[in-house]
């Protein structure tokens, strides 16, 4: 057996000139880990226990000079503070049983409790508010999985229990809680190393979060309102596919179809300057798609990889079917990696297809967004490197968006109206329409350096 631990701290500063902002994110984490392995033990051959505490704070200071709208003050300053303290435990155990049917049992539990608070202090055109009441967010789960071997076929049944509770400490909003038991089963046919088909069926459970049930914020032209009655999302799905290895080349292809009840989605209603956003439960959602993943270790230390993923979806709300706007466009990734004994580097090229208008719901009455901004296609290069000057010390460096490409992630602009025509219709100038588009872009060229020490 052995003991492990880590102390982790990261600080990020970001200065952007459009308005003038300074973002500071601090995350302090302390964890202790116990790892046990003994193949000759009678009952438990493997065990892993981790306890942790994490303190995360995000502070945003902004000074904005506003132009082109006489109805607003010419300037405002904001100080936005978000704090989350979390402590928890994760436990996983493994037992191997030998009888007529060999079994590998994996089981365990996880639990966490978070104390969350936020405050927005403003001057000029704005006022100080508490976007969400102080709250406690508890998550708990337990699972059991059995992997059974029948000659060339592996059958893997599993069962998981989840529960959650969101409890406001201040304010008058009610608590929100729930639980569910989720079964699943999978099978793998080990016909050959080069070709191993598989199939899975399973159910799922997704708990709402405090920002979905408790957060309120009124901005310029829009309002986010809480939904304390938001229900947990449940679903079930099928997946079929195959994986295999041909010498140093590995691959996996799969297709899936999932159906959901009470699907959690952010819905907008109304038009600027009175647009309202709220997380709501969609009564019925179907999502389907496919993905392909490959990697090739073509020389010592070298590896190339590629992946592509496609998905589509339909929602039904108030008896009306429409495209599901949260679906991501087609994405492809290609990478090249080199690993030496004490250092390594890799590059990834990420391509995103532009969002197609025929797969967007523009109807406000069914949870869509009229004149929804459509993200165009984009290609981005990211570089990463690491160095291990000591056995237990690793220094990492990232350079993201190397060519400083201007692009939009669909997940960032979904539900947003950023076009000139819509901005003009809402009473905003062409200048503000262009500024809104710029403010919604993905991060420009940026870099990070971090260090990790394991003991």
Q: Collapse the DSSP code of 259 into the 3-class scheme (helix H, G, I; strand E, B; otherwise coil) and give the result.
A: strand
Task: Give me the pLDDT at residue 371, please.
Answer: 80
Identify whether the C-beta of residue 46 lies closer than 8 Å to the C-beta of residue 96.
no
Q: Is the pLDDT of residue 86 over 90?
A: yes
**Distance, CA of 166 to CA of 229 (rounded, Å):** 11
CB-based contacts of 436-439 (< 8 A; 24+ apart in sequence) = 437/373, 438/18, 439/18
**Distance, CA of 431 to CA of 69 (rounded, Å):** 10
Which tokens in the block code for residue 153? 């076929």
**Distance, CA of 174 to CA of 94 (rounded, Å):** 40
> Cis before residue 273, ω within 30 degrees of 0?
yes
Q: What are 308-351's pLDDT values in tens digits?
A: 999 999 998 878 899 999 999 999 999 999 999 899 999 999 99
Cβ atoms < 10 Å from Cβ of 263 = 26
Q: What are 402-443's pLDDT values in tens digits?
A: 999 999 999 888 877 775 444 444 444 444 566 667 778 999
Q: Is the pLDDT of residue 172 over 80?
A: yes
Q: What are 175-208's pLDDT values in tens digits?
A: 999 999 999 999 999 999 999 999 999 999 999 9
Q: What are 111-127's pLDDT values in tens digits?
A: 999 999 988 877 655 55
**Distance, CA of 300 to CA of 257 (rounded, Å):** 39
Task: Give me the pLDDT at residue 377, please.
Answer: 97
**Distance, CA of 135 to CA of 212 (rounded, Å):** 12
> Cis before residue 83, ω within 30 degrees of 0?
no
Q: Torsion angle of alpha carbons 169, 170, 174, 178, nearest 10°?
A: -20
Task: Give me the pLDDT at residue 147, please.
Answer: 95
Counting residues of the chain whose pLDDT is more than 90, the rounded percentage is 63
Distance of CA 414 to the CA centre of its chain: 15
**Distance, CA of 182 to CA of 161 (rounded, Å):** 6
Q: Where are the alpha helices (DSSP H) in 192-277?
A: 210-213
Please state, in angstroms and as integers, the Cα–Cα distance from residue 19 to each residue in 82, 171, 244, 262, 405, following that order: 21, 33, 52, 39, 20
**Distance, CA of 326 to CA of 420 (rounded, Å):** 23
- Which CATH superfamily hosts domain 2-453? TonB-dependent receptor, beta-barrel domain (2.40.170.20)
Mean pLDDT of 84-103: 92
* Confidence label for 100 from pLDDT (cuts 50, 70 and 90): confident
**Distance, CA of 251 to CA of 304 (rounded, Å):** 12
pTM of the predicted structure, to 2 decimals: 0.79
DSSP strand pairing (222-224 vs 275-299): parallel
Domain residue spans in the chain? 2-453
Identify whether the C-beta of residue 26 lies closer than 8 Å to the C-beta of residue 3.
no
Q: Is the pLDDT of residue 72 over 70?
A: no
Task: Give me the pLDDT at residue 422, please.
Answer: 42
**Distance, CA of 312 to CA of 287 (rounded, Å):** 6
Q: Output Rg (C-alpha) for the chain, integer angstroms.
A: 25
């Amino acid at each position: 057996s052995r003991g492990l631990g880590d102390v982790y701290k990261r600080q990020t500063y970001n200065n952007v000139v459009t308005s003038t902002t300074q973002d500071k994110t601090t995350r302090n984490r302390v964890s202790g880990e116990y790892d046990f392995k003994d193949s000759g033990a009678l009952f438990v051959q493997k065990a892993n226990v981790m306890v942790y505490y994490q303190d995360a704070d995000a502070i945003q200071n902004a000074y904005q000079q506003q132009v082109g709208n006489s109805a607003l003050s010419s300037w405002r300053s904001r100080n936005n503070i978000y704090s989350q303290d979390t402590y928890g435990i994760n436990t996983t155990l493994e037992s191997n049983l030998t009888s007529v049917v060999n079994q590998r049992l994996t089981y365990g539990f996880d639990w966490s409790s978070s104390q969350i608070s936020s405050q927005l202090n403003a001057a000029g055109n704005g006022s100080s508010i508490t976007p969400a009441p102080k709250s406690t967010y508890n998550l708990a789960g337990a699972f059991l999985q059995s992997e059974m071997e029948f000659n060339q076929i592996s059958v893997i049944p599993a069962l998981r229990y989840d529960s959650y509770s969101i409890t406001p400490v201040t304010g008058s909003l009610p608590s929100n809680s729930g639980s569910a038991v989720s079964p699943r089963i999978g099978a793998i046919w080990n016909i050959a190393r080069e070709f191993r088909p598989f199939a899975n069926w399973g159910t799922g459970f997704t708990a709402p979060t405090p920002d979905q049930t408790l957060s309120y914020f009124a901005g310029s032209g829009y309002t986010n309102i809480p939904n304390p009655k938001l229900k947990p999302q449940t679903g079930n799905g099928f997946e079929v596919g195959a994986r295999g290895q041909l010498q140093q080349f590995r691959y996996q292809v799969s297709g899936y179809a999932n159906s959901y009840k009470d699907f959690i989605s952010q819905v907008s209603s109304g038009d600027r300057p009175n647009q309202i956003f709220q997380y709501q439960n969609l009564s019925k959602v179907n999502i389907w798609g496919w993905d392909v993943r490959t990697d090739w270790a073509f020389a010592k230390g070298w590896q190339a990889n590629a992946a592509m993923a496609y998905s589509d979806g339909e929602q039904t709300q108030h008896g009306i079917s429409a495209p599901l706007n949260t679906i991501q466009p087609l994405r492809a990734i290609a990478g090249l990696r080199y690993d030496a004994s004490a250092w390594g580097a890799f590059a990834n090229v990420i391509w995103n297809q532009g969002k197609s208008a025929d797969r967007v719901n523009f109807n406000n009455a069914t949870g869509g967004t009229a004149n929804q901004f459509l993200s165009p296609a984009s290609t981005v290069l990211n570089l990463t490197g690491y160095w291990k000057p000591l056995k237990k010390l690793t220094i990492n460096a990232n350079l993201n968006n190397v060519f400083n490409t201007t692009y939009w992630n669909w997940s960032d602009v979904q539900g947003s109206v950023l076009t000139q025509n819509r901005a003009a219709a809402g009473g905003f100038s062409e200048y503000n329409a262009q500024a809104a588009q710029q403010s919604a872009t993905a991060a420009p060229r940026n870099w990070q350096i971090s260090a990790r020490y394991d003991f």
